[in-house]
Amino acid sequence: MKNTLSFILGCIFTSSLFSQSPTFSIGSDTYSSLVGATPVMKDSVWDDPDVWKTSERNIPLGFTFHAFGKNITTFSWEQAGVSFRDVDTVVYIGFKDFDMCDLGYGTQNAMSPISRKLEGTAGFHIMKLEWRRFGIWDDWSQNGKFSDSGYVQLWIYESSRKIELHFGKSNFSDLTTIYPDGVSLIAAKYDDDGRTSGIKLDGQAANPTVYSFDDTSDRSIKSWPVQNTVYIFSFGSAGMNDISKSLQNAYYFDHKLMLKSVQKEMLNLNIYNPSGQCIQHVEVRDGVAEVSDLKPGMYIAKPDSGAVGFLRFVVLE
């Protein structure tokens, strides 16, 4: 018996297509604190993530995020952003030199929870991070107390390849009262050979100017975004213009997934069921993958490395 595959959306891309810098835009969304999230520092007073335990600092995404030509499965917490490091590269998205810390700093009482939560289903996950009611260490250092606090979340999207900063309520607006030169906000890649690529923002938070790292001047944000503002860094999406090889004439027959137009270097696929569980890991050779029998239903297949994108398909009787 032959089961045909009806492809709702299916495209695989080579990773080289996505090595460019992100684009930046501003949106809005009602800020709501995370519910049912995993606490990171639990009841500990926190400050510099550099001194956290690896298990606390690591952010396992549960999916692969593609940015600056890198396949990222684990980010690390930073003071006000996230980073990824491999042998010769650092990727950083967020504020730099903005020293967020627990409002309980200097005491034994933690007051500023940090948490993370994975939402969505396979192919469409969102990893959400939250710094809730945080303080600024430089404020405490200069004034002997915290006069300001704020809320911020960072969302990492699997399918649309976006990273968003969601801003909640805060007691501060003019950052120059604490940081006379403002604070850096970047999405960048640093290579060991000194090359840097990405973007950096400059000016007032409501309408910042975007500069490439080809610009060598220092750039910084002078004010804090108002509540419900969303900063969006887009690293490209699975749009039709990006298709390297569409999956045509695909079908399932005799325990084989036939993907005739798949490039030969794309060797491995993970197959997920409708519940988001990875049920098979298959190797593609010359466009054919040996798979266990699939029951009728909808599935998602994703490359496990070396390429980005996914295909969603239905197995029919």
Full DSSP string of 10-63 = EEEEEGGGG-SPPEEEEEE------SSPEESSTT-----GGGS-HHHHEEEEEE
d(CA 81, CA 100): 10
pLDDT in tens, 34-52: 999 999 988 899 998 988 9
Count Cβ atoms within 10 A of the Cβ of residue 1 and give its class: 0-12 exposed, 13-18 middle, 19 or more buried.
exposed
Q: How far apart, in Å, do the first and last CA atoms of the chain sit?
A: 9
CA dihedral 148, 151, 154, 160 (to 10 degrees): -130
Q: Contact at 8 Å (CB) between 300 and 277?
A: no
pLDDT band, residue 296 (cuts 50/70/90): confident
Half-sphere exposure of 209 (CA within 13 A, CB side): 10
Segment 9-18 shows an average pLDDT of 43
Domain ranges of the chain: 2-13+242-315, 23-234
- β-partners of residue 65 are 72
Higher pLDDT, 69 or 37: 37
Lowest mean pLDDT among 84-88, 96-100, 103-107, 288-292: 288-292
| Spatial CB neighbours of 236, under 8 Å, sequence gap ≥ 6 | 17, 18, 20, 22, 161, 242
pLDDT in tens, 148-172: 889 999 999 998 889 999 999 998 8
3-state secondary structure of 176: helix
DSSP 233: E
pTM of the model: 0.72
CA dihedral 179, 39, 225, 49 (to 10 degrees): 30
pLDDT band, residue 14 (cuts 50/70/90): very low
pLDDT at position 146: 84
Rounded to 5 degrees, φ, ψ at 177 are -70, -25
**Backbone CA torsion sign across 242, 127, 297, 300:** positive
pLDDT in tens, 108-117: 889 999 999 9
Scanning 23-173, the segments in alpha helix (DSSP H) are 54-57, 137-143
For residue 134, CA distances in Å to 7, 113, 147, 179, 181 come to: 46, 8, 11, 17, 21
pLDDT at position 13: 43
For 2-13+242-315, the fitting CATH number among 2.60.40, 1.10.443, 1.10.260, 1.20.120 is: 2.60.40
